[in-house]
Amino acid sequence: MAERIAVIDFETTGMSPAQGARPTEVGVAMIEGGVIVARYQSLMNAGAWVPPFIEQLTGISNAMLRGAPPVAQVMAEVADFVGDAPLLAHNAAFDMKFWDAELGLLGRRRTRDFACSLLLSRRLLPEAPSHKLGSLNSWAGLPGTGQAHRALADAEMAANLTLHLQQLLWARHEIRADHGYLCALQKLSAAKVRGLLRLDA
DNA sequence: TGCCAGGCCCTCTTTAGGGCCTT
């Protein structure tokens, strides 16, 4: 049976929960067998104020959040949706902080590692001019997924990028890169991965 | 008062600094 990976993206009110930032929207694209097989997206009301810069970036306004379901309800739903699937995000350090902080408020804990498509693409696509999610997807010729900086559109972009990286590893190196392999690969230095996979050749 | 992340990677490096990436 093919492995499922839950590709996650948060929109938030700021850079870090340690600074008081809270999520405003979460999206999940579940990949399995080389395709996206399930999706989750919801706005959420955490009672936090959305600064004008963030509102302009994401299109998510304070007015939209006033009518959104409460954060605890959404986080419980999305945690149940993800279940015991391993996790992945683009710049996972960012999304992992919010995932862990919000689950912690519910008295729940993450049980699986996060893989990171930013670290993986820096290692496997060093020739890309930019490793921003949208730029990478355009550069790699991957399909558009909707409005950038909305949670599900970005989660689907990261999912498509991950599938592209898995296909690249298989086509060039005959490596079936499951989540465990991706996590191991991203922990090696970029230089070591280049040597291991002969990316400089 | 003023400021506020943090981890990764490259290089004019390693006794460090700056850019990238996420909102």
The proportion of chain A whose per-residue pLDDT surpasses 70, expressed as a percent, equals 99
A91 three-class SS:
coil
How far is the C-alpha of A169 from the C-alpha of A175, rounded, in Å? 5
pLDDT 10s digits, A143-163: 988 888 999 999 999 999 999
* Exposure b/e, A158-196, CB count within 10 A at least 16 = b: bbbbbbbbbebbeeeeeeebebeebbebbeeeeeebbee
Instruction: Please tell me the pTM assigned to this model.
Output: 0.93
Residue-averaged pLDDT of chain A: 93
Q: Name the residue closest to the C1' of B8 by its CA.
A: A119
The mean pLDDT of A87-113, rounded to a whole number, is: 95
Whether residue A200 has pLDDT greater than 70: no
The proportion of chain A whose per-residue pLDDT surpasses 90, expressed as a percent, equals 85
Q: A129 beta carbon < 7 A from strand B? A: no
Strand B: which bases are under 7 Å from protein Cβ?
A: 4-10, 20-23
